[in-house]
Amino acid sequence: MMFDFGLDYQFYQNLTAVKEYIAFLEKEFDLVKIMEYFEESTVLMKCLLSWKFEDFFHIESNARVDKERAEMSDNLKENIKRWKKADMLLYEHFNRTFWRQINLEREGFYDDLKTFHRMNEEMNQRCFNGTLTLQLVYPSKYVKSPVLNPNLPAEIKDKCEKMTRKENAYLTHLRNRQSSKSAGYIKTLLDEEEEADNIIS
């Protein structure tokens, strides 16, 4: 994780450097979500962004097939923690700040969490038939993917399909939307500038 966040590997065993970089990252991010507490993270993000529950509907997807899951011994787990000390410090820090943020939220946070869980489950039941299919995502790599219910109304089908869109496809979709918005904004500025020039001339 530290590599993805930009810390040079030569500093991974330097406790002071790691802690200073974590302090830097804390200033850069208003929220760091924790995968093990995905729904809590999602509701906390909803509170911070003032979004609706519907904006966060999701389903578990892209999970590895069972035969590719490897069991690790306790000894191996401890070795990984030692080898990845910088990542462990990063995780432990943001895990603490995550729960601190939740504790600072209004009293209705856990009511919101229950409501979101119920609404998301209801949406899942409307969208999917409960079976999984294997989908090829990389050469020789398959993941589990939920199967849509047949004959969904168009407005519901679109929402359900968005819930199963893979991250790379979603990233491309969001980039295209952002490019479109940026192009429209730039065109508006150019039109206003041209209009001002015409008025002056």
Q: Give the pLDDT confidence score for residue 62 in this predicted structure.
A: 67
Q: pLDDT, tens digit, for every residue of 74-115?
A: 898 888 888 889 999 999 999 999 999 998 887 789 999 999
Quick check: is 62 in a domain? Answer: yes
Q: Report which residue type is found at 168.
A: N
Quick check: is 44 in a domain? Answer: yes
Burial (CB count <10 Å: 0-12, 13-18, 19+), residue 151 = exposed
Q: Please indicate, yes or no, whether the overall pTM of this predicted structure exceeds 0.75.
A: no
Burial (CB count <10 Å: 0-12, 13-18, 19+), residue 76 = exposed
Tell me how many domains the chain contains: 1
Quick check: is 175 in a domain? Answer: no
Distance CA(79)–CA(65), nearest Å, equals: 26
Quick check: is 177 in a domain? Answer: no
- Is the pLDDT reported for residue 191 higher than 80? no
Q: Give the pLDDT confidence score for residue 161 in this predicted structure.
A: 84
State which H helix or E strand residue 54 sits in. none
Contact 14, 7 (CB under 8 A): no
Q: Which domain holds residue 113?
A: 2-165
Quick check: is 45 in a domain? Answer: yes
CA atoms within 13 A on the CB side of 145: 18
- Is the pLDDT reported for residue 168 higher than 70? yes
Structure tokens at 54: 């519907």
Mean pLDDT value of segment 158-169: 81
Neighbours of 186 (CB within 10 A): 10
The mean pLDDT value of the chain amounts to: 83
Contact 30, 48 (CB under 8 A): yes
**Strand pairing class (63-64; 128-138):** unpaired
Distinct helix (H) and strand (E) counts, the chain: 8, 3
Quick check: is 6 in a domain? Answer: yes
Q: Give the pLDDT confidence score for residue 175 in this predicted structure.
A: 84
Quick check: is 158 in a domain? Answer: yes
Structure tokens at 145: 């993917």
Structure tokens at 158: 């679109």
Quick check: is 61 in a domain? Answer: yes
